[in-house]
């Protein structure tokens, strides 16, 4: 991990730790919601993609799991061994709490910078999962995809849902506007906070986000021994960023689902 990448990730993780109590308060109903053994927080198309590949008794790792509710949803679908990884200690604590309330005490959670994972997790999982809102925090997309691949056993599957890269061109507003080049490679620094539920601004610790083009994503996966099996662009809002574009006359894709298999 380069010193520059560590600079960005360490500060962004601190910003996530800072916002965790706000998110927990906003999502207070989760304490009741996750107690339902049929609880499922997955977006419909991604839920269908998971069903297509199947999770029954499979070992599953969620990369950057936040408070763990998507991993809990997958566990409720019959997954076997489950591991959630996130750099934020505050969100990992929430994930452990929610898993306990859900009665899923066999889910393991690991607090780790994704670029510094323990070797004991290498080549351990049938399925790796990335849900919306992860790639943009990665300063080194190539290294990130290498880590994702390293977690999978040969023949394993990586499933991803993410904001469509074209949204990196847009600035939120009423309406959203195109303010950035699709090929921008400079980090975005923000100190307005990470409350993407109520969009309240506050004097926050700095965080850094990054735009990765579709080429960046696909080629970094290909060079990480991953073979593309599935791609689907989504016209509806999956991540609350420029959500109004869903209803625009000339709407861009707002989300994308991808599946790769690790070459044996």
pLDDT digits 0-9 by tens, 23-79: 999 999 999 999 999 999 999 999 999 999 999 999 999 999 999 999 999 999 999
What is the pLDDT confidence band of residue 264, given thresholds at 50, 70 and 90? confident
- Name the strands in the sheet holding 125-130, side by side, starting at the edge strand that comes first in the sequence: 107-111, 82-86, 60-63, 125-130, 152-163, 255-262, 226-234
What is the pLDDT confidence band of residue 1, given thresholds at 50, 70 and 90? low
Q: Where are the domains of the chain?
A: 3-30+43-262
CATH of domain 3-30+43-262: 3.40.50.150
Distance CA 44, CA 181 (A): 31
């Amino acid at each position: 991990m380069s010193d520059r990448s560590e600079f960005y990730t360490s500060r962004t993780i601190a910003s996530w730790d800072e916002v965790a109590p706000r998110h927990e308060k906003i999502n207070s109903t989760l304490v009741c919601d996750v107690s339902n053994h049929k609880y499922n927080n997955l977006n419909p198309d991604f839920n269908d993609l998971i069903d297509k590949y199947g999770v029954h008794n499979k070992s599953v790792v969620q990369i950057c799991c936040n408070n763990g509710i998507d991993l809990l949803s997958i566990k409720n679908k019959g997954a076997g061994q489950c591991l959630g990884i996130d750099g934020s200690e505050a969100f990992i604590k929430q994930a452990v709490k929610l898993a306990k309330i859900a009665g899923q005490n066999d889910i393991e959670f690991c607090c780790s910078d994704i670029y510094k994972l323990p070797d004991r997790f290498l080549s351990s999982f049938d399925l790796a999962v990335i849900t919306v809102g992860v790639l943009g925090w990665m300063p080194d997309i190539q290294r990130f995809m290498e880590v994702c691949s390293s977690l999978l056993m040969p023949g394993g599957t990586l499933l991803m849902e993410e904001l469509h890269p074209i949204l990196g061109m847009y600035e939120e507003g009423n309406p959203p506007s195109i303010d950035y080049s699709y090929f921008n490679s400079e980090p975005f620094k923000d100190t307005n906070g990470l409350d993407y539920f109520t969009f309240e601004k506050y004097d926050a610790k700095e965080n850094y986000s990054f735009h990765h083009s579709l080429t960046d994503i696909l080629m970094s996966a290909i060079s990480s021994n991953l073979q593309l099996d599935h791609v689907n662009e989504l016209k509806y809002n999956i991540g609350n960023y420029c959500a109004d574009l869903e209803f625009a006359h000339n709407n861009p894709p707002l989300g994308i689902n991808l599946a790769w298999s690790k070459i044996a």
